[in-house]
Structure 1
């Protein structure tokens, strides 16, 4: 099982501002030779500031063309934080769980939740959308695959908007993360298949643009290695976390001259597709083929037999992301204090696994 923990990291100083990039409060403070807190007081009209200091700050504001955004205002007033959740995730089951958790968290702590879809935007359009949105929000949640977009993350970080990435396995010293240990979770479910007696185990990878997919493949490989089972590359197929990609990958694996006796799919949508292909080939699950998934979304219990899977508490992750953002904003530490929050996963055993047929 993965350990549940939370590590706090101190954010390093920002690099020099690029051409065309928004002026930051820290740059105004540096030019005026005062603290960022003093600039915030002057700009937002809070607290006592000497007239000479106020004049120096406003001169720096005019010289740099600094324009306060909603993120800065909310950090100063700590009223009604406005958090955006942006999605492009192809799995409707995953998205449903995430939205439930985020809505629950926002309702509990009286935060406004803005939900936006960037499904049809290219990378350049996403960066432009991030620049526009940054002036209207106080924090942002980026689920997969946007949590891996360096361009989008850079736009929000440079605008001073706190970011929480969901399920990213890639450490980033500028944003917070909420995740599970994908490596250990993958290893756990693979070891479950090995313990049932399987030696030829197929794997359908997740989308290549997500680091979680890489960590799950590494966990699968590690479990085989520890059990002394040779890694067979011909039993690994590419997937994209979609049902259709699961269908195509399952067809290839089950058409293998020496097909696997079990298949571990990178999420429940693809695992459900494997079950469908098995039935079409008149294979009984789990008597002829064992199948396991990942996430424990509703897709895991809408197929027959119901799937053995890894429970990734997606709703809890969305709730925790809201809490991390708003807690930081209300303590006026959102843009500076970073959190790496690891939530425990769980192996859920259902009826899709059995010992291999003789």
Structure 2
């Protein structure tokens, strides 16, 4: 009787550069150039190779590929985002790439600082890092960015709503995403839609609202200023905004929150007021963070690939560091795709009683 063979699962460390090359449809030499951050590779080719590296979980042989210096490369992630769910997604993406490339990750916590304090914190960080990742809201901090640019420190802004002329960016099209979300609610029959804005100092917040306004305008729906409330991307600000929306004489039948934390707050207030979601009130969020699925019902939201965006940011920084040409700054603007994730928090508006 023939003894059945055991299935063997090959460890990711055994993936070869030839397999990565085959997956990407390029030569092994091209893979080597991309991994080493050399500039003589077309951007679309570079993206194909990096995608293959991620899909195969390829770990380069640091000695063979002359990347031993990566063990001394320190990339800083500044933590100041008020959304814990967003931060978790960001850390997953950065740690995934850090473990593959043997970089050292530096976590730096900044409180909600004024510009002068941001400059001081940036100057202190420059001494401890070779590159920096700027998540919201620091992705648009002129004070911090100016210090990093002056020091020649490579930096990448994540989730900035616009291209920055001073640092590389990894972002989504917030205008289009905001418009798609509003259009989805309109398609479901809603004409009285509330909107909770994000931080007013972030262009991503502005673009999401502008997309909402554009969708209503195309549908012939007038904007009711009473249905637009300020927010800060925090759960607490979502609670406050929702109370104002739902205590109106003619409350909205649907509410768009500019992130999932505030969307979760909307559902909480609705439940406290005896409203059924989505029968009495439809609620949608933004980001598709863990907050979207830890509430009941789970939030319909816009998926922003935060973890993969963080990984792309690290790839951009490593290329900048290995280019080793302080006289030249090559900036990248990666606009990554988003998608509408439909869950159980949206229904047609209730009939008027």
Task: Say whether the fold is shared (TM-score over 0.5).
Answer: yes
Which residues of 2 match residues 261-300 of structure 1 at below 5 A?
261-300=253-292
Counterpart for residue 108 of structure 1: 100
Distance 1:287 1:98, change over 3 A: same
Q: Which runs of 5+ in 1 are unaligned?
A: 1-74
Question: Which structure would you say has the larger RCO, counting Cα contacts within 8 Å and 6 or more residues apart?
Answer: 1
Post-superposition CA distance 1:152-198 (Å, at most 9, x none)? 00001000101100111133211100000000011111111000000
Please state how far the C-alpha of 1:125 moved relative to its aligned partner. 1.9
Deviates more, 1:170-179 or 1:88-97: 170-179
Aligned counterparts of 2:164 and 2:131: Cα–Cα separation in 1: 17
The CA deviation at 1:123 is 2.6
Q: Within 5 Å, give how 1:32-181 maps onto structure 2.
A: 80-119=72-111, 121-181=113-173
Distance 2:70 2:108 in 1: 23
CA distance in 1, matches of 2:101, 2:129: 16
How far has the Cα of 1:330 moved from its partner? 1.5
Secondary structure of 2:169's counterpart equals: strand
Q: Is the 8 A contact 1:87 1:146 kept in 2?
A: no
- Give the corresponding residue for 1:331: 323
Q: Corresponding residue for 1:54?
A: none
In 1, Cα distance between the equivalents of 2:124 and 2:259?
Answer: 33
TM-score w.r.t. structure 2 length? 0.78
Distance 1:79 1:97, change over 3 A: closer
1:135 deviation in Å? 2.3
Partner of 2:233: 241
CA distance in 2, matches of 1:231, 1:347: 23
Q: TM-score, normalised by structure 1?
A: 0.77
SS state at 1:337 partner:
coil
Once the two structures are superposed, what CA deviation does each residue of 1:200-230 show, in whole Å capped at 9, x if it has no partner? 0000000112111000000000110111111
Q: CA deviation at 1:132?
A: 1.7
1:354 aligns to what?
347
Aligned residues: 283
Alignment match, 1:61: none
Q: Distance in 2 between matches of 1:246 and 1:135?
A: 38
- Do the aligned partners of residues 254 and 120 (structure 1) sit closer, same or farther apart at CA in structure 2, a change above 3 Å counting? closer
Q: Is the 8 A contact 1:300 1:306 kept in 2?
A: yes
Shift of 1:345: 0.4
Q: Give the deviation of 1:332 after TM superposition.
A: 2.6
Secondary structure of 2:72's match?
coil
> Which stretches of structure 1, 4 residues or longer, exceed 2 Å deviation after superposition?
77-80, 120-123, 331-335
Alignment of 1:165-204 (within 5 A): 165-204=157-196
